[in-house]
Amino acid sequence: MTHAQTSNPMQQPTLQTIRRALKAVMDTHRGTSRAALAALDAGRAAYRGAFTENERARVLSEARRIQAEAPEGHFLRQTPEIVNFEQALDEMGTQLIDQALGPDA
């Protein structure tokens, strides 16, 4: 056990802590084997699934605003209208979450 686990065994990690840990792994790890790639995909799915409907709506709203305000010729102008949270992250990446919800999300 780590020191953190022994100092307060009843303390559970917060959702924000789990999100930050998953994001850190996704941002720094590049899978080099099938197992690593599968684990990375599972981490991405867990990260994306860790947001409430309200948070998802806020991220989608921010993505739509950015798409609408994109200058002529920007790739987002040629992208179909963003209609859901998953598409927003696929088109704009996880930094969109920080932009919409703040860095502590």
- Averaged in consecutive runs of 10 residues, what is the pLDDT profile of the chain (105 residues)? 47 76 74 78 86 96 96 92 95 92 82
Q: What is the pLDDT, as a whole number, of residue 1? A: 40
Q: pTM (2 decimals)?
A: 0.71
Residue 3 lies in a domain: no
Domain coverage including residue 26: 13-50
Q: Are residues 82 and 44 in the same domain?
A: no
Contact in structure between 89 and 97 (CB atoms under 8 Å): yes
Contact in structure between 59 and 84 (CB atoms under 8 Å): no
How many structural domains does the chain have? 2
Residue 8 lies in a domain: no
Nearest to 95 by CA among 52, 53, 49, 62: 62
Residue 2 lies in a domain: no
Q: Are residues 58 and 102 in the same domain?
A: yes
Q: What is the pLDDT, as a whole number, of residue 11? A: 65
Q: Are residues 26 and 67 in the same domain?
A: no
Q: What is the pLDDT, as a whole number, of residue 5? A: 43
Q: What is the pLDDT, as a whole number, of residue 10? A: 57
